[in-house]
Structures are given as structure tokens and as C-alpha cells.
Amino acid sequence: MKYGSIVLEKKEYVTLKQLLNLSESYKESTRKSSILRLKEELKSAIILDEKELPEDIIRFNSNVVVATKDGWQNDFQLVGATESNFSNKKVSILTPMGLAIIGYAEGDVIDWEFPGGVKSLEIKEVKRTEKVKK
């Protein structure tokens, strides 16, 4: 892990904690275990101001390319639950994929449980859709 822990922007950290608390009642086991794992990761997360956040961190609205060792690769934008749209490559933060990658950096490799089993994901590319005003 590039930064030692997941890295989140302060406001997104608060939003994410609220979303996770509201989502605890999910019955589907993979999503539920993903929520619990991310809650654990939040305990040691690095929380930064917007201007301090490295460019290669996955956050809300980031465009991401992920790949597995077996050749699968996907690119999508990580969005809030209400903006999710599979056909437009917009993946909700509350899916196992979204929960797995939030706060990780380009180059990180994550072992995460998905509906098809545990997969090792490599973050190939991270691009922000909104530039930080300095």
C-alpha cells in the first residue's frame, strides 16, 4: 500500500462514514463484509484537507482503471449511490468494487472479496474529474 493506509479527504470521510452506517442493514453477505472491512480500514485512515490530498488517491468521482492478474480489466467512475449507472461506467461507492477501492492509490494491489470470490485488484490508473482549485 503506497501510503500505508487508505487516504481520504475530510468531507468525503464524513460522508463515507454516514453512508456506511446507513448501509449496515444490507443482507447480501459480500456487500455486508465489504462494508465491515472498510469500516475497519477507516479506523487507521489518513484524513487530509482537499489541498493536501495526493492526485493518485481514489475518491468520489475519480476515474479508475483496475485489473486482475488473470487479464480482466475495467475502467469506470466511482460515484455516489444515486449516480450509479452501469451502462455509463459509473460504479456506486456502495458496491463491493467501490468499497474495495476508495482511498487507495494508483499502483496499490488490494485483495478483496467479491460475489465471485476473493480477487487481487491492481489500481492501474486514477484520474480526478474535478481539479482542486489552489
112: domain CATH number? Answer: 3.10.50.30
Domain membership of residue 134 (yes or no) is: no
Q: Is residue 114 part of a domain?
A: yes
Residue 2 placed within a domain: no
The whole-chain average pLDDT of the chain stands at 92
> Considering the chain, what percentage of its residues have pLDDT values greater than 90?
78
Residue 133 domain-assigned? no
Residue in this structure with the C-alpha cell 465471485, named with its chain if needed? 116
Q: Into how many domains does the chain fold?
A: 1
131 pLDDT exceeds 60? no
Domain membership of residue 132 (yes or no) is no
Q: What pTM did the predictor assign? A: 0.91
Whether residue 63 is contained in a domain is answered as yes
Report the number of secondary-structure helices (H) and strands (E) in the chain.
3, 7
- Cell numbers placing 77: 467512475
**What nine digits make up the cell of 90?**
459509473
Task: Look up the domain containing 78 and give its range.
Answer: 7-127
Residues 63/76, Cβ–Cβ less than 8 Å: yes
- Give dist(CA 28, CA 13) in Å, integer: 24
